[in-house]
């Protein structure tokens, strides 16, 4: 398989204004924007894509449409396929394989709070189910359970487990993964993309690249090519926007509002998420203004 490294955009799932259906035309426009920005790939049906509120049919359509269009633009696709039900995760994994995705993203099972042995068996069952590469997603802030470095090392021995999206916020954890495994280490926190690269990270699954794909792609390209000074400058330019998107409201509320302000999304989210209140909306508008983004700058 093609190595997993560089900038991957965690795509929002655009809905029509009342949130009742997926806006496929807007999804296609967003993917073209990402291709024009030079990212390595896209990630449909992840957290940013509001996967918990998509029906199975919507999930299938979003993945299939994303693969179809992304491949025509030379983009890799890491399809969201995680579940806290191992059998359902296997079902989604096999579907992503059949749809033509390059890999599937699997979050640690949430709510169940499995032991490390349970986590190991879950990911091994998914990896054994078909030949599609697995990207593990370690985000205890969302799931209340984290993969330990020991468990990650055990799982890394499976040939189908190729990468990890690391979102614990710990550079110690990232360092252990890089030192103890050959997994592709992808950052799951936009503000830590460059710091994680300094200890072995090779890319990012990014929220902010929904807005500025070229800048995130340039950041990854810079550190992968060893141009750390250019990477540091880009990190500084992205830092305020990256921190704001993930601190002003629960993801993806802020990024969808920002896209709406820029004329690139309806801003609709599905319950139990809801639009930002007026104060938060104003803060998002101010953040977009300070960043210098203009709707005309976003390619279609």
- How many CA atoms lie less than 13 Å away from 233 in the CB half-sphere? 6
Selection from 116, 124, 107 nearest residue 158 by Cα: 124
Token output for 248: 């002003």
List Cα–Cα distances, 184 to 188, 241, 286, in angstroms: 12, 26, 36
Q: Is 165 a catalytic residue?
A: yes
CB 58 within 8 A of CB 49: no
Burial class of 123 by CB neighbour count within 10 A (0 to 12, 13 to 18, 19+): buried
CA distance 195 to 96: 31
Angle (CA) 222-134-93 rounded to 5° is: 130
CA 70, 45, 140, 142 torsion-angle sign: positive
| Catalytic site residue from 5, 8, 137, 256 | 137
Q: Say how many residues make up the chain.
A: 300
Q: Is 137 a catalytic residue?
A: yes
CA distance 140 to 91: 23
| Catalytic site residue from 5, 165, 215, 256 | 165
Positions annotated as catalytic residues are: 137, 165
């Amino acid at each position: 398989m093609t190595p997993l490294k560089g900038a991957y955009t965690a795509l929002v799932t655009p809905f029509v204004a009342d949130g009742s259906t997926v806006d496929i035309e807007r999804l296609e426009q967003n993917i073209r924007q990402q291709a024009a920005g030079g990212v390595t790939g896209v990630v449909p049906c992840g957290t940013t894509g509001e996967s918990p509120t998509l029906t199975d049919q919507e999930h299938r359509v979003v993945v299939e449409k994303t693969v179809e269009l992304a491949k025509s633009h030379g983009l890799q696709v890491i399809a969201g396929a995680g579940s806290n039900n191992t059998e359902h995760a296997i079902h989604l994994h096999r579907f992503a394989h059949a749809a033509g995705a390059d890999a599937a993203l699997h979050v640690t099972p949430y709510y169940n709070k499995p032991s490390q042995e349970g986590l190991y068996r879950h990911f091994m069952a998914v990896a054994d189910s078909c030949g599609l590469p697995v990207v593990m997603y370690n985000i205890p802030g969302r799931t209340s359970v984290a993969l330990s470095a020991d468990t990650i090392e055990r799982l890394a021995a499976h040939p189908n487990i190729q990468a990890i999206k690391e979102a614990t916020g710990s550079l110690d954890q990232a360092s252990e993964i890089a030192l103890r495994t050959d997994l592709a280490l992808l950052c799951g926190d936009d503000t830590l993309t460059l710091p994680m690269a300094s200890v072995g990270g090779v890319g990012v699954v990014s929220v902010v690249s929904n807005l500025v794909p070229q800048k995130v792609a340039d950041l990854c390209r810079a550190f992968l090519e060893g141009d750390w000074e250019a990477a540091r400058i880009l990190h500084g330019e992205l830092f305020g926007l990256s921190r704001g998107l993930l601190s002003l409201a629960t993801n993806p509320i802020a990024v969808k509002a920002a896209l709406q302000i820029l004329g690139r999304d309806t801003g609709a989210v599905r319950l139990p998420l809801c639009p930002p209140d007026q104060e938060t909306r104003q803060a998002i508008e101010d953040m977009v203004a300070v960043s210098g983004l203009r709707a005309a700058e976003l390619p279609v």
